[in-house]
């Protein structure tokens, strides 16, 4: 039924809850897994106050270094979990992008022809969700495949 499963992981904590469910479903359906993490680069470049051009020029290398460090750490844990899936007999690959997590998940699911997206749901409601947004809410309303939200 589900041949290509996109597993959207927001953090290593998600691997403790979402990854085992993805493995179980993949084993039952003989599926391929794609583990995905999107580094929200918009967070790093959102202005927190007013900065002079000189201040921004000084901060950009720090932001860039932080993004690159996060990307290296992400690649390490995605590789680790891809290997865990392979050791369980599941074909798996990973991808990591920078950008907006919501639209990146939907775009990857479409381009990869996913049958199912498995992702977490932080449980934000009301004002928190309105101000912080909800990746899962966006994906539910814009993805063209089935979605499993894991709380």
Residue 74 forms part of a structural domain: no
Residue 47 forms part of a structural domain: no
Residue 83 forms part of a structural domain: no
CATH of the domain at 101: 3.40.50.620
Strand partners, 147: 117
Q: What is the pLDDT of residue 55?
A: 58
Other C-beta atoms within 10 Å of 122: how many?
Answer: 13
Q: What is the pLDDT of residue 45?
A: 46
- pLDDT averaged per 10 residues in sequence order, the chain, 151 residues: 95 88 96 94 53 60 77 94 96 94 96 96 57 76 94 82
d(CA 86, CA 3): 16
d(CA 95, CA 8): 10
* Buried-state track 41-69, b at ≥16 Cβ within 10 A, e below 16: beebeeeeeeeeeeeeeeeeeeeeeebee
Residue 141 forms part of a structural domain: yes
Report the number of distinct structural domains present in the chain.
Answer: 1
Over its C-alpha atoms, the chain yields an Rg (Å, rounded) of 17
* Residue 150 host element (H or E): strand 146-150
**Domain carrying residue 110:** 1-9+22-34+89-146
Residue 61 forms part of a structural domain: no
Q: What is the pLDDT of residue 147?
A: 95
Residue 75 forms part of a structural domain: no
d(CA 117, CA 25): 11
d(CA 18, CA 137): 17
Strand partners, 150: 120
Residue 110 forms part of a structural domain: yes
Residue 95 forms part of a structural domain: yes
Q: Using one digit for the tens of pLDDT, what is the confidence trace for 44-58? A: 444 555 555 565 566
């Amino acid at each position: 039924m589900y041949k290509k499963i996109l597993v959207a992981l927001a953090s290593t904590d998600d691997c403790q809850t979402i990854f085992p469910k993805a493995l179980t479903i993949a084993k039952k359906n003989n599926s391929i897994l794609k583990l995905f993490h999107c580094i929200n680069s918009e967070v790093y470049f959102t202005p927190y106050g007013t900065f002079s051009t000189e201040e921004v020029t000084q901060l950009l290398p720090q932001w860039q270094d932080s993004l690159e460090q996060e990307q290296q750490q992400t690649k390490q844990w995605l590789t680790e979990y891809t290997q865990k899936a392979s050791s369980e007999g599941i074909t798996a690959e990973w991808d990591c992008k920078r950008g907006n997590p919501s639209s990146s998940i939907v775009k990857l699911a479409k381009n990869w022809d996913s049958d199912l997206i498995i992702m977490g749901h932080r449980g934000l409601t009301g004002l928190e969700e309105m101000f912080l947004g909800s990746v899962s809410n966006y994906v539910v309303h814009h993805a063209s495949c089935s979605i499993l939200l894991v709380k």
